[in-house]
Structure 1
């Protein structure tokens, strides 16, 4: 008599999705974002190919979850910045926290940068990148608004415009750092960003 095949333990869907996102990131960290396929993710996670499509309706839905995980981490960084003190101190803390997160996991940042560039050619992926960027924009806007709410004063331009400029420097500095890996230059650049941005705030 043929022995009964051992049944795979059931994994809750939420946990399975997390595992597949982690597997997708690992594949892209190792081989580049453009190489990711649902079959590669299944192999990395050690699950049948159908499990990926059961958890995510498409590869783009999986990539959307990858960006969502990044946004969750960014939210923890920006939403926990201490708002005590003036604009210079608050922005300096935020920039240091951003630099710490970037330098702690450069390969994941590289994956996200690659996916963002791929979105320029892929309309479906572009929508996902735009959604992620919109959340970053909101986080920076909320931080700048928090400065005025706590300390009073105002920015010399609409807060959304100031936030967009801050975000542009943050993302651009991250891309440059990924190539040069000059930590001192990164931190000096972001420190200067904090000071220059703070100079646009007046207490009156």
Structure 2
């Protein structure tokens, strides 16, 4: 077995867990199934993660990080504030469309955690993590676009999370790219309406 750092092993196990969850469902993603998928002994799992709950958090974080592109590279053409906002949203949406199976896993993880005794905290932390990432992304957009938000960022983050969460679930059901794109443009228009020049 090749010697890898703990961080590389964690990443290997997270990737294996995602593959198992996509193929077999979250409920069947046992530690044994995950290490078998990764091709490592069971002891490696316990070396990298204190619990399955910790692994679930790492899976959620890994999927979300891949879905959020850097704001600074999201808009190569239109550098106006509205163009940066729209470009960032569509760059994010491109990642959703590129990895629909991973998006389905996130919804399944939420439901699984809420139904399993002792795992509700996973779902709470999952959505708190999303809110933090959305807040950070809104702050980054403001910095790149040279604007400030006229609505408090925590409120905008919760609003945006609710909208994008629903839009993603809708798209996973009907795969209507035209309507999804139109909804993104409407959201971009809303965000543009709650900006002011930066100070």
User: Per the shorter chain, which TM-score range?
Assistant: 0.7 to 0.9
Q: Distance in 1 between matches of 2:46 and 2:62?
A: 19
Aligned pair partner of 2:125 in 118, 121, 131:
131
Residues 67-100 of structure 1 show CA distances to partners (whole Å, capped at 9, x for unaligned) of 22124324544575459422x2222112101110
Whether 1:31 aligns to 2:37 is: no
Whether the 8 Å CA contact 2:68–2:92 is kept in 1: the answer is: no
Q: 1:38 to 1:193 in 2, by over 3 A?
A: same
Counterpart mapping for 1:120-159 below 5 A: 120-122=114-116, 124-146=118-140, 151-152=146-147, 154-155=149-150, 157-159=151-153
Give the aligned partner of residue 107 of structure 1.
101
Q: Distance in 2 between matches of 1:147 and 1:61?
A: 30
Q: TM-score, normalised by structure 1?
A: 0.81
Structure 1 vs Structure 2 CA RMSD: 2.6
Gaps of 5+ in 2: none
Give the aligned partner of residue 67 of structure 1.
60
Q: Distance in 1 between matches of 2:142 and 2:3?
A: 50
Q: Distance in 1 between matches of 2:4 and 2:139?
A: 42
Number of residues of Structure 1 aligned to a counterpart in Structure 2: 195
Whether the 8 Å CA contact 1:27–1:44 is kept in 2: the answer is: yes
1:101 Cα offset (Å): 0.5
Whether the 8 Å CA contact 1:77–1:98 is kept in 2: the answer is: no
Q: 1:27 to 1:158 in 2, by over 3 A?
A: same
Whether 1:197 aligns to 2:194 is: no
Q: Distance in 1 between matches of 2:154 and 2:171?
A: 26
Q: Distance in 2 between matches of 1:146 and 1:44?
A: 37
Q: 1:62 to 1:139 in 2, by over 3 A?
A: closer
Q: 1:27 to 1:144 in 2, by over 3 A?
A: closer
Q: 1:196 to 1:115 in 2, by over 3 A?
A: same
Q: Distance in 1 between matches of 2:3 and 2:142?
A: 50
